């Protein structure tokens, strides 16, 4: 799992592009602020050990500077320009597929039952 720290308030969250439950900052919103996204990615377990992330979060909460590697941020901005960010959903990816599949099967069975009922009735 990719753990990250919110660049806005310092709260720990599940991934760099997840909306923050603490302050609501959403790095993936609209996909336009690549520097915000790069800073969010930098403050993640991709670049720091998970044990260091709470300390980085504390620094942000207390208004202390967080050391960003400007060269790496520039590289991440370029990398993010060529990638489409995933749509973030609180539901598991398979949940919506399963839900729509079950709904489709129920509608099909309902239509078949109605057809059989009307066919046998006449």
* Number of other CB atoms surrounding residue 13 within 10 Å: 24
The pTM score is 0.64
Residue pLDDT, tens place only, 23-76: 999 988 756 688 999 999 999 999 999 899 999 999 999 999 998 899 999 999
- The answer to whether residue 93 scores a pLDDT higher than 60 is no
DSSP SS3 for 12: strand
Residue 13, helix vs strand vs coil: strand
Residue 95's pLDDT is: 53
* Residue from 30, 23, 5, 7 nearest 15 by CA: 5
Nearest to residue 6, comparing CAs of 51, 37, 34? 37
């Amino acid at each position: 799992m990719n753990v990250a720290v919110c660049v806005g308030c310092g709260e720990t969250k599940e991934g760099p592009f997840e909306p923050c439950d603490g302050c609501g900052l959403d790095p993936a919103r609209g996909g336009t602020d690549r520097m915000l996204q790069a800073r969010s990615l930098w403050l993640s377990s991709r670049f720091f050990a998970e044990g260091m992330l709470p300390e980085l979060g504390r620094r942000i909460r207390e208004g202390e500077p967080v050391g960003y590697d400007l060269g790496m941020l520039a590289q991440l901005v370029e990398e993010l320009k060529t990638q489409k960010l995933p749509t973030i959903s609180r539901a598991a990816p398979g949940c919506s597929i399963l839900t729509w599949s079950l709904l489709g099967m129920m509608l099909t069975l309902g239509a078949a039952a109605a057809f059989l009922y009307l066919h046998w009735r006449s």
